[in-house]
Structure 1
């Protein structure tokens, strides 16, 4: 492909990252802005099939992927009813809204797995933890619209994470947790920008996260008092105050296990 077009990087992907997880337990009806406006207008991207269960808000700082380093903010509300395919009628996880800091991953996430990625600008109060070092006492992440360079711009998401330092680090792998990490994504529409490619089939795939250094953390999600401007950009959700901080994690995203119309 030409240099002015996105780099194509087909599945599977093996990525290395530092990640922070905030646990959710949402109820019907799901909040406004759980989807981006582009996807919300697609008939397959409905909230009607939401079945609840545990979900999460994830912030990920990728250091190594097939398309280079980037940052990510995603929300998985919980389980949705699957329509069609071999899992018809079952409840599986779905990513409904996700922001990333570079174009190549936007394009490939949509193209490979129907992941509805959009661009955003990220700011962190500290760099990722260097190997062999201790994490900072706290880390604040702010996420802004992609074209907001104004010093007075308000983020649409801001959270502060503080690892619980008196507890030791521990290994964590989703492969050994009582979690079904099967992701089923509906087809998504195309946007005006060429990186916002669309798809026309449902897809199913697997993800796994693993690290030898995870911590419990305190998480504060700033969604009130004028500190953030969420409308149109991010749903008003209140994750649990305790989450997980993962250092030197490996994320595997599989090839498609199934696709159907």
Structure 2
């Protein structure tokens, strides 16, 4: 993604923090990830992640470097939300918020073939103060029929999977939206023996964006899905600036 950053790249809660200045954005390869977790310490849940690219690190052991940053991330499942939200925010400075998810296909078994296409739709949570049926994210993923599955690991890729996250403010209205006071860095690794190239059709920009919930952007029409993937988020290193 190139600068300037789009409107709503941060949630209004996080956007007020001095560390979330747009001038720290340095560009680079960004990504949008949709993840369905089936085995985690806080149970099953779905997740939408927005990673615009690299941001300058203003201090600490990585001062002056440009590192990836998660600016928007949503999880579902009210029964696991408190743990998913508070632990993600507290342990890694990941700015998690609650949303509603809908998938056009049920979760796949380890031996099942992917569907011909799957549409993912994400809305503000059902208990949000202003009820809306306008999703803020909607995309359809269609596997390429002429390409086989292949093994893929982030260790194969020539790009970094190291993140540096600024401190998070807390919410006066939701105790799950905990705040932090230190910067945190961590590594993410993932791998799958069943990666598949997919076409991506996004409805971003066609009256789908619910203002204040998701940045308006135009993703690439090409993506990759990792079936039966393993993902590990490393222990965070923290410091003050």
TM interval, short-chain normalised: over 0.9
TM-score (norm 1): 0.87
Q: Please list every run of at least 4 consecutive aligned residues from structure 1 whose deviation after the TM superposition is greater than 3 angstroms.
A: 148-152
Q: What secondary structure sits across from 1:48 in the alignment?
A: helix
Does the Cα contact within 8 Å between 2:118 and 2:141 map onto a contact in 1? yes
Aligned to 2:90: 111
1:82 to 57, 60, 64: 57
CA distance in 1, matches of 2:67, 2:114: 33
Equivalent residue number for residue 46 of structure 2: 71
Separation in 2, partners of 1:225, 1:177 = 33
State the structure with bigger RCO (CA 8 A, min sep 6), 1 or 2.
1
Output the CA distance in 1 between the equivalents of 2:170 and 2:33: 24
| Structure-to-structure mapping, 1:135-146, within 5 angstroms | 135-146=114-125
Q: Mapping of 1:35-184 within 5 angstroms?
A: 35-101=10-76, 102-147=81-126, 153-184=133-164
Q: 1:191 matched to which residue of 2? A: 171
Residue number in structure 2 paired with 1:16? none
Say which structure is richer in helix.
Answer: 2
Q: 1:245 pairs with 218, 225, 228, which one?
A: 225
**Number of residue equivalences:** 235
Q: Report SS of the residue matched to 1:204.
A: strand
Q: Give structure 2 stretches of 5+ with no counterpart.
A: none
Contact 2:195–2:225, Cα closer than 8 Å, also in 1: yes
Q: Is the CA contact 1:122–1:142 (under 8 Å) kept in the aligned structure 2?
A: yes
Deviation at 1:120, TM superposition (A): 0.3
Question: 5+ unaligned residues in a row in structure 1: which ranges?
Answer: 1-25
- Contact 2:209 2:216 (C-alpha < 8 Å) held by counterparts: no
The two structures, once aligned, show a CA RMSD in angstroms of 1.6
Is 1:231 matched up with 2:206? no
